[in-house]
Amino acid sequence: MPRKSYAQDRPKLALVVTDIYAFNVLSRGQLEFFRDSGVTLDLYCNGTEEGFAKLRARKVGRVIRIPFRRKPHPIMDLAALCVLFWHMLTNRYEAVVSSTPKAMLLGSIAAAFAFQRKRFCFVRGRAYETMTGAMRKAYELMDRGSFLFAHRVIFLSHSLREAYTKDGIGALEKGCVLGEGSSNGVDLVKYRVLSDVERLKLRHARKIDEDEFVIVIAGRIVPDKGVREALDLIDRLGDEQQLRWFFLGWPESNDLVAQIYKRSHLNVTHLDHTDRLQDWLGLADLSFLPSYREGFGNVGIEAAACGLPTLAFDVVGLRDSVADGVSGHLVPFGDLEASERFIRDALDDRAALADQYSGARAWVSEHFENRAVWQNYARAYLGEEWAGWALPKLDNAQI
């Protein structure tokens, strides 16, 4: 169906998240896609001044600060709800999409009581997964409330939806997964298989020898990302002199960072930030994702787009972003013996490793090309009337 004239009637979409990080990092390119497709965006969030400056510079829509707090805070939560409710009363949206636990609950309530026509919960993960006792019950109750006030619940991955269903809060009558999941897909131009010359050039620039076996562990330095398990695995493989380990992620635990630096004699390096993750995935031999939980696991598909296999724990989210036997290998959660065996086998026969997972990029291209993922969300939020336009396809050279 052809689109309406934007000059006459542009669809208006509200996106609500707790922290501006979700817009600046997790939605790179997607907000521009909506804007360039004729959608007017209102972006509700909290965050740092630097984050707000960065988001406004993208010129993707109106940015509205809401005093969200990640942890429960009755006074500030009530203030955030009141501000949101006022904005929802004074604006009419084609759809309101609320994501991340606090914003999902308050955004859904405000939109419901303001009689917004379509209300979506976009579930990125189970925040309570590693919690116990009263705190877990509180977060479960938050999710139940969010789902209650929504018309539709979109889960980031199939295994995430299954986990919620197992917990008894799956919102089966409202819940769905779009395509094969993922919130933003992967840019197949940015994340690509490097030529041998490019790969060697990157290694030389980082003083990595051609024959060294590089393992990248990308993610925040926190316990839930499996950093302790990764360190234990490094100790188990300490006799393998050809191994080089690179932790790429913001340090949120001083203790864990200290433990990483204590293993510098085992060829372990930590970088707290990189704007060129694609370079590290391109020069590496293996990606390791020992996370306890993920909503989806973006690094899994980014690595696959670079032709890099991933070794990961078989947990919620990662079993969607790592296709076992196609883009990588899944081992039972916490199974360091199996992880060690896989890496030693890979060291013994690197050619076999590359050959076994040679179809990784084709798998990603088929299921997670970013513009196709964005269009799935446009269809869900706005309907075919606005989102039914054809996407340009990548040619074989780009794929």
Query: What percent of the chain stands above pLDDT 90?
Result: 82
Q: What confidence tens digit (pLDDT) does each residue in 244-259 have?
A: 999 999 998 899 999 9
Position 170 confidence tier, pLDDT thresholds 50, 70, 90: low
Q: Which of 21, 54, 28 is nearest to 250 (CA)?
A: 21
Q: How many residues does the chain have?
A: 399
pLDDT of residue 129: 80
Q: How many CA atoms lie within 13 A of 43 on its CB side?
A: 26
pLDDT of residue 386: 60
What CATH architecture does domain 196-368 belong to?
3-Layer(aba) Sandwich (3.40)
pLDDT of residue 238: 96
With beta carbons less than 8 A apart as the criterion, state whether 228 and 193 touch: no
**12-185+372-382 domain in CATH 3.40.50.2000?**
yes
pLDDT of residue 393: 45
Q: How far, in Å, CA of 382 to CA of 380, rounded?
A: 6
Q: What confidence tens digit (pLDDT) does each residue in 29-42 have?
A: 999 999 998 999 99
Query: What percent of the chain stands above pLDDT 70?
Result: 94
The domain segmentation of the chain, as residue ranges, is 12-185+372-382, 196-368
pLDDT of residue 267: 97
**Sequence letter at residue 227:** V
Q: What confidence tens digit (pLDDT) does each residue in 69-83 have?
A: 888 788 999 999 999
Output 390 or 138, whichever has higher pLDDT: 138
* Average pLDDT score over the chain: 91
Position 46 confidence tier, pLDDT thresholds 50, 70, 90: very high
Please report how the helices 133-148 and 101-113 are oriented relative to each other, as an axis angle in degrees rounded to 10.
Answer: 40
Q: How far, in Å, CA of 356 to CA of 38, rounded?
A: 43
Q: What is the pTM of this model?
A: 0.90
Mean per-residue pLDDT for 151-177? 90
With beta carbons less than 8 A apart as the criterion, state whether 310 and 303 touch: yes
Q: How far, in Å, CA of 213 to CA of 79, rounded?
A: 52
pLDDT of residue 6: 40
Q: What confidence tens digit (pLDDT) does each residue in 370-384 have?
A: 999 999 999 999 987
With beta carbons less than 8 A apart as the criterion, state whether 123 and 100 touch: no
What's the token pair of residue 164? 């919620």
Q: What confidence tens digit (pLDDT) does each residue in 292-320 have?
A: 999 999 999 999 999 999 999 999 999 99
Question: Is pLDDT at 389 greater than 50 in this prediction?
Answer: no
196-368 matches 12-185+372-382 in CATH topology: yes
Lowest mean pLDDT among 79-93, 129-143, 151-165: 129-143
Question: Is pLDDT at 271 greater than 60 in this prediction?
Answer: yes
pLDDT of residue 3: 41
Position 385 confidence tier, pLDDT thresholds 50, 70, 90: low
Q: What confidence tens digit (pLDDT) does each residue in 187-227 have?
A: 999 999 999 999 999 999 999 999 999 999 999 999 999 99
Mean per-residue pLDDT for 54-63? 97
Question: Is pLDDT at 392 greater than 70 in this prediction?
Answer: no
Mean per-residue pLDDT for 278-291? 98
Report the greatest alpha carbon distance in the chain. 68
Q: What confidence tens digit (pLDDT) does each residue in 334-370 have?
A: 999 999 999 999 999 999 999 999 999 999 999 999 9
209 Cβ contact list (under 8 Å, min separation 6): 203
pLDDT of residue 269: 97
* Sign of the torsion formed by the C-alpha atoms of 75, 148, 154 and 44: negative
